[in-house]
Structure formats: structure tokens, C-alpha cells
Amino acid sequence: MSGEDFEAGPAVGGGAQAFGALGVVAVFVALGGVYWDVAWHVVIGRESFWIPPHLLIYSGTAVFFLSVACALLLTARRAGSFRATGRAGAGFLVGVLGSLIQVSAAPLDDLWHRMYGLDVTVWSPPHLMGMAGALIGIYGLTCALGTGLPRDERRSFLTMPETNVLLLFAAALSLSMFALGSLDFRLERRDVLFYPLLAGPLAAIPLVAAARYVGRFAAATAVALVYGVFRLLALWIFVGMGAFENPGPPVFLVAAAFAVDLAFLGKKEDVRRVLGAAVLFGPAFVLGEWAFRVPLDVTNWEPLEVAASLTVVTLAAAFGVLAGDRLQSLLRSG
């Protein structure tokens, strides 16, 4: 990772980083409300828009908006003008835009429910709009806080900017997996082909982007582990409310994330490392999920099914790897 990539405008100051950290917390609060919302709809239904999970989701969104807006104002004041904020200001502005898109989806979602009733999937237009807005906001904030990433490759401990950025990539991974709907919630729904064809590319994008953007070994693995812990908390909500008879534990992404970290091990960057990650990710994802299912004593994928799916899943996941590499390039250029 070259130092020149991080000099488009001033680095984010301490106050803006603190507001950014508050925005990170708000993201996870809203995500917790999203998972709670699923369990609420399954067990209780939807008596009105003002149910507790919705209040938690939009409270988190409101705090995110306010914290990112305050960070933008502090950055502009530090730089002397909005135009001089550079990549940090652009990232904060995109973060504000993402939260506005997410909030705009709320009345549309309420209208959708009034017209068509309770959704049978998360793939309704208002939900997709809200998830898209949330991802835009997350990656916008990632771009802004990334201007504070240290350029010294010999650093030992995680800095505040690195911690914030890794947590944001974990939030993006969580939201990407949530978009799978029942494939995320129900373990028995995950077949050996369709599930990894969707989940592989979706998971590869934030994991590869994290590894490339942060520039530390094990960055992708750290993102996968944070997601796993958060997803276990969501599983606790499902179990506590009795939402599903067999709620799916978090997908086994550590093997695939570690494969990404191995592909980018070392300081030299070239296209061969990206291609190596593209080749490794799909098999690591499928084999990791397969190994994960065995001790759970669920209807497992047969070895021949796994072998047959590897080629097409590898190709699909490779597109996610390339998209993740492109995403980190966009985040670095602002």
C-alpha cells in the first residue's frame, strides 16, 4: 500500500474520528434492530410501523446521520472550507447521503406493507433500498476514516482509524449476508450450489476490500471474526424469541477470509495476488461451510456435490474478489 494513496486532502482529526466511532456504534445498533425485526415479524407480526425493532433501527440511523454530519463539519472547519476537505469530506458526505436514502425507504416500506401485507422475504423494493442506503453510508464513512490510516507498515498495534475501518467492513459483511434472507437465517435452506453462488461473491467484496484497504495481515480474518461474534448475538435473539426451529449459525467465513489474507501476504502488490485470492476464495468458502456443517449434525452436503459445485462457485466468487479489489481502489481514491 503506497503512502500517496492516502494524501488526497487532510487526514481526519481526532474529533471527527471520535464522531466517526460513534457512527460505527450506531451502525451496529441499527443492524441489531434489523435482526430483531426479523424475529419480531416471525413471532409477533407487524401491528404498526412503530414497533420496537423499527425504533431501534431508525434511532441508530439517526445517530449515524448526526455523527457523520458533525464529523463533516469538524473536518471542514479544520480544513478551512468544504472544498478543502478532500477525500475525508467526500466520504462523510456520501455517509450522510446513504443515511438519507435509508430513512427515505421507511415511509415506502410502510406503504408497501399497507398495500401488500407482511413480506415473505427481505427482497422487497423498500428493504433493498434501505440496505443499499446503509451500505452506501457504511462505505462512505469507511472512505472518510481511512484518510487517517497510518502509512508505517511496521506498526504493531491497531490504531483508532484502523479499528473503526475494520468494524465498518464487518458491518458491511453482516448487511451483505443479511441480504440473503432465509439463506442466512435457516441452515437447512443452504444447498450446496445456490447458497455459495450468492454468499460467496457477497462475502468476498467486503473481505477483500478490507484486506487491501487496511494493508495489515489478518485484516480480512479479523473482519470475519467480528462478524461471527455479532451474528452469534443475532442468533441469541432468534433463539430467545423462538423465531425459528433451526436458526442458522453464522456462515463459516474464517477459512475464506484467511485465504484472502494469505493471498495478500507480503508488501509487494501486483495483479497475481488479486488473482490468487480469486482462485482461493471460492474453494475455501465451500469447504469451510462444509466442514462447519458436519459437527452440527445437519443434513450435510455430499462430497460429490461439493466437488461438482467448486468450479462454478469459484468463478462466481472470483467476481466478488475483483469487485472487492475495485471497491478498495475507489475508497482509496475518494
Asked if residues 141 and 92 have their Cβ atoms less than 8 Å apart, the reply is yes
Q: Report the pLDDT value the prediction gives residue 30, as an integer from 0 to 100.
A: 94
Residues 182, 183, 187, 189: what is their CA dihedral angle, to the nearest 10 degrees?
A: 90
Single out the residue of 3, 2, 5 nearest to residue 332, CA to CA.
Answer: 5
Residue type, 136: I
Q: Where are the domains of the chain?
A: 1-161, 180-334
Q: Residue 206, Cβ neighbours under 10 Å: how many?
A: 34
pTM: 0.90
Q: Report the pLDDT value the prediction gives residue 2, as an integer from 0 to 100.
A: 39
- Give the end-to-end CA distance of the chain in Å, rounded to a whole number: 15
Q: Average pLDDT by consecutive 10-residue portion of the chain (334 residues)?
A: 45 85 96 87 73 90 95 87 82 94 85 72 81 94 84 66 94 92 80 91 96 90 94 83 70 90 79 91 92 76 90 96 94 80
- Per-residue burial over 292-327, b = 16 or more CB atoms within 10 Å of its CB, e = otherwise: bbeeeeeeebeeeebeebbeebbebbbebbbbbbeb
